[in-house]
Structure 1
């Protein structure tokens, strides 16, 4: 078998970095109100992971509205557990307006930092740092979108003012389930995808059979990655890396727990041949700094709706590039978060790709119109202000959840 084209090397990633990105200059922003909208659509087929199955596709949107009438959209990660989206929606309604509205903010980072700080004790008291960080991340995205719309520029240009015109943003089809994954991979390849990621962690025999089937379906030139969703122990991950190496994989994602000691990640990188990826389940710049600086993980994957929003994930991108790592934003939700991930990657530049869920999800399209156009495995953003998309609330009304 001819080898697939690998992901760019760490040295290539370092050489491809874009110029230093600046935060936008001070621009007074006063939020008048915040709206929280939750949607649920059936997952057909269900999304299977090594730790659980998604039978529904939730989407939690945050709309930030300024005192001048300008508004922007953000999205909160809310896939697990079942019912967790409703809980996050109620947290957002209870805390975000009280903490973010009625004050003047000089820039999105200031709001992100202050609201995060004000929620720190509550996060300790209730033992829920994740959900609270996620609603702040969604608000941060909405504020960036608001400011970019107000200025009449694409959000990626607000993130990186030196950007003349965003280049094509490479994407990959993710979330290939362990049941007949080759069929979905072939469908997405026919639509223009050139890179694919398969879910593994379902037993060696099933994983190996699926890898062989997907590789046969997409051919030797396509990029193929695997995601174990933290399924294995260190020794199991070492064995899996050796077992799967013959399929010419671009990376092995989250083979062990995200909170495993960095020494375990480093040993895993040394003791098996595949490049390692992770980051969707990390939180805090210190943790990302440790991961980026260590020799274990080559591909850094923060999720803008899970922690950090655009303000902090922009800093994670800088960390990744400073240490010569590949930067690939993670996303497996609806369309607003996907658009934010595309703009983040466009602003950052360099090597890497943005994750696009290969599974059907009506909320991906309904909540972000117009849909992106894929050409030869990449998306080119246009000059539309902000995220460049709008939720079609009328069409999505049948999926709206009543939170009263």
Structure 2
């Protein structure tokens, strides 16, 4: 039956943090999130999350973009399923995004809306999202510890080990000599069967990336993530891949089915990492995940944000299967932690999905209400 949306509720959140989260391109001084709830005329509902980490004022901007630039395209409009919402919104906002050059924000808002719509549809079907996508979906997904600052990695890896992780990803791209020296030392802290990966966050041009790879040739890194800008030429990516014994990873800043088809076809990536909150939602990322798996490549969804997007990423990985890992940021974030995704368990190396319909989220945690910076409730 067609789904006609009768209510849209969106809120932006921002939590102060005592320890900033630093990447090679900038520093996060607080933790933001944008959560959206869709409801149809029968009272069925679904939750989604919109990417809001960058720029600094991104959360409020994206929440307002949803309300003021897309509300008229949603309320009272019939959709057969989530993919139709995704396709229609992409087409109908094309000129609006072109007019202002804000392709990213529009794609991110549509991704969050698609996640909410998929949650709603799966909930109506009485299935978890993972089971809705794939009846043979896994019930658990393995996780790795992410967002680890290279200068604090000794401490954070020890904490990660206590939490049950066995794979860790540290942020590099600050000082090549210091980064490589610190990485070398970190291997002595790892136990048997543990893996260390590195994330440069697009820090280098090809010559610097080549120097890093040469300096780390003898280090058994699990992967090297975004050593080059996502829009670097294929020639540069190929040149680096040809000389790197370390698998290259990327995908969080690739958008569009065509963009991922090209990335898969090149064969330069050992690991591909679509981000469900940045582009595609389930309608875009589920076919991409299937294509990655069909090509024999490793699918590890990228994610760094609030609790809804993390849970959605887990359902996507559970449906895709394979040897992928769920990214779990180890830095404090009340907008993620309040969802109690592990249901009180201290072991974080594996996440067990809820069998509840949809994403298993019925309402937002009460304790995050104090962090709202913008909210709107649209209805007909």
- TM-score (norm: length of structure 1): 0.89
Runs of 4+ in 1 over 6 A off after TM superposition: none
Following superposition, the deviation at residue 372 of structure 1 comes to: 7.4
Residues 376 and 245 (structure 1 numbering): CA distance in 2 closer, same or farther, change over 3 Å? farther
Rate the CA distance shift 1:188–1:310 in 2: closer, same or farther, 3 A: same
2:292 aligns with: 320
Superposed, 1:127-276 pairs within 5 Å as: 127-160=101-134, 162-163=135-136, 166-276=138-248
Segment of structure 1 superposing worse, 170-179 or 237-246: 237-246
Is 1:369–1:392's contact at 8 Å kept on the other side of the alignment?
no
The reply to whether residue 111 of structure 1 matches residue 85 of structure 2 is yes
Structure 2 distance, partners of 1:205, 1:217, is 20
Q: CA deviation at 1:235?
A: 1.7
**Aligned pair in 2 of structure 1 residues 287, 374: CA closer, same or farther (>3 Å)?**
farther
- For residue 388 of structure 1, give the secondary structure of its aligned residue in structure 2: coil
Task: Call closer, same or farther: CA 1:231–1:78 in 2, change over 3 Å.
Answer: same
Kindly report the root-mean-square deviation, in angstroms, between the aligned alpha carbons of the 2 structures.
1.7
Shift of residue 44 of structure 1?
3.0
Is the 2:252–2:278 Cα contact (8 Å) retained in structure 1?
Answer: yes
User: Which digits, 9 at most, give the CA deviation of each residue in 1:175-201, with x for residues without a partner?
Assistant: 101332110111011011111100000
- Alignment check: 8 A CA contact 1:368 1:392 kept: no
Give the conservation status (yes or no) of the 8 Å contact 1:57–1:361: yes
SS in 2 for 1:34: strand
Match of 2:281 among 284, 294, 309: 309
> Tell me, what secondary structure is at the counterpart of 2:7?
strand
* Structure 1 range deviating more: 384-393 or 117-126: 384-393
Per-residue CA deviation, residues 359-382 of structure 1 (Å, 9 max, x unaligned), is: 111110224667475757221213
* Structure 1 residue 352: Cα displacement: 1.1
Task: Tell me: CA distance 1:367–1:376, structure 2 relative to 1, closer, same or farther (3 Å).
Answer: closer
Per the TM alignment, residue 266 of structure 1 is displaced from its structure 2 partner at its CA by: 1.3
Q: Secondary structure at the match of 2:374?
A: coil
The answer on 1:395 being equivalent to 2:367 is yes
Is 1:364 equivalent to 2:317 in the alignment? no
1:297 to 251, 269, 274: 269
* 1:372-383 alignment runs, 5 A limit: 373=345, 375=347, 377-383=349-355
**What is residue 12 of structure 1 aligned with on the other side?**
none
| Number of equivalenced pairs | 376
CA distance in 1, matches of 2:341, 2:243: 46
1:368 touches 1:391 (CA, 8 Å); kept in 2? no
Cα distance in 1 for partners of 2:49, 2:158 equals: 30
Q: Which residue of 2 aligns with 1:87?
A: 61
Rounded to whole Å, the distance in 2 between the matches of 1:89 and 1:108 is 20
Retained in 2: the 8 A contact 1:48–1:178? Answer: no
Per-residue deviation at 1:390? 4.3
SS in 2 for 1:179: helix
Mapped contact 1:369–1:390 kept (Cα < 8 A): no
Q: Which of 2, 17, 24 in structure 2 is aligned with 1:43?
A: 17
Q: Which moved more, 1:173-182 or 1:52-61?
A: 173-182
Give the structure 2 partner of residue 22 of structure 1. Answer: none
2: CA distance, partners of 1:154 / 1:79: 27
Which has the larger displacement, 133-142 or 363-372? Answer: 363-372
Answer whether contact 1:146 1:386 (CA < 8 A) is retained: yes
Distance 1:388 1:246 in 2: 44
SS in 2 for 1:340: helix
Partner in structure 1 of residue 37 of structure 2: 63
**Structure 1, 207-216 or 274-283: larger mean CA deviation:** 207-216
Distance 2:74 2:199 in 1: 37
Question: 3-state SS of the aligned residue for 1:247?
Answer: coil
> Equivalents in 1 of 2:346, 2:116: separation in Å?
25
Give TM-score scaled by structure 2 length. Answer: 0.95
- Contact 2:342–2:352, Cα closer than 8 Å, also in 1: no
CA distance in 2, matches of 1:252, 1:103: 44
1:281 maps onto 2:235 in alignment: no
Counterpart Cα distance in 2 of 1:374 and 1:68 = 38
